[in-house]
Amino acid sequence: MIRIAFFETKDYDKASFAQYEKEGETEFRFLETKLTEVTADLAKDCDAVCVFVNDNVNAAVIDKLCEYGVKIIALRCAGFNNVDVRHAYGKIHVVRVPAYSPYAVAEHTMALLLTSIRRIHKAYIRTRDFNFSLNGMTGFDLHGKTVGVVGTGRIGRVFIDICRGFGMNVIAYDAYPAADSGIDYVTLDELFERSDIISLHCPLTDETHHMVNAEAIEKMKKGVVILNTSRGALIDADALLDGIRARKVGAACLDVYEEEAELFFEDRSGHILNDERLARLISMPNVIVTSHQAFLTNEALSNIAETTMNNIRSYFDNDGICDNELCYRDGKIDTLKKDRRERCF
């Protein structure tokens, strides 16, 4: 019997994982609370925990999970910036879902862009009030514009394909350019300087933290549109607000936010929002914020559940040899899925 504690779960998580719970083989414990040092006690007697983007899997949490006999931490997402993988090495195995649906995130990114520049959100509100005026609704063509894509992994490349379909000129930056991809790679500074639209599709690391800051925004074109469907801390929110107020940033479309952990995925409509920075961003007429929903399609949820369960079963059925394991070795994290024939540790 494999007992799994699922943290930070919603109804759609339960629905997507329900088919994998088999009597006598697996037992699921769905928890709405986030995983923290305090809530880690809820994983007692479990063999595995399944966590999401805003669960805090730091060193103290990892030590507690080990104390309780948890053998594997399964991320049901691609990013792992919220997990201390280095501390986990040698103690507890960590696996992730490297690709659930790049189309879901890339398509949501384009939806945000189109909504913003064609004022679709404002038209929706107006026409429901029977206001059919077009004043203030002028947008611009995407055709012929230059889009700078930061990060050319699966999601970034799908977004590039979508942009090319609109007739846009695409330039890109990646610390590890894809060979023979036909992508026009430039330096990050050149991307900032040349792009009419900038879209972030890279992981959050020490190197990418606040990569869009005051200095970067100063290099950008006046009126630049900034898109972020990756991780909130890629952008310095204070610098973004300053850029918007200075009319340097023409629009921002954000599906993620640096301090989202206590806000996103929850209904806060009956509460006073204590995060003044986010409140100011949402109040701006040229800012669109969605609540980390770019991944949320039926196809992505199905793929997440299937891969997560395969990862967990791989550990228990193959003597600890895990597909999609984050293995910390020699000062770096191996994120590549391989035909592994030996344990990470």
* Set 8, 96, 201, 260: catalytic member: 260
Strands (E), 31-145: 48-51, 72-75, 93-95
Q: Answer whether 47's CB lies under 8 Å from 29's CB.
A: no
Residues belonging to the chain = 345
Catalytic residue among 76, 157, 231, 340: 231
To the query of whether residue 87 is one of the catalytic residues in this protein, the response is no
Point out the catalytic residue in the list 108, 154, 201, 292: 292
Catalytic residue flag (residue 292):
yes
Q: Which two tokens stand for residue 164?
A: 């090319």
- Specify the DSSP element, H or E, that contains 112: helix 102-117
| Degrees, nearest 5: CA angle 108-113-118 | 125
Q: Give the integer Cα–Cα distance in Å for 266 and 165.
A: 35
Q: Is 260 a catalytic residue?
A: yes
Whose tokens are 């394909």? That residue is 161
**What are the angstrom distances between the C-alpha of 197 and each of 114, 140, 173, 221, 228?**
12, 12, 13, 9, 11
Cβ-based neighbours of 29, under 8 Å, separated by 6 or more: 3, 4, 5, 6, 42, 46
User: Which residues participate in catalysis according to the annotation?
Assistant: 231, 260, 292
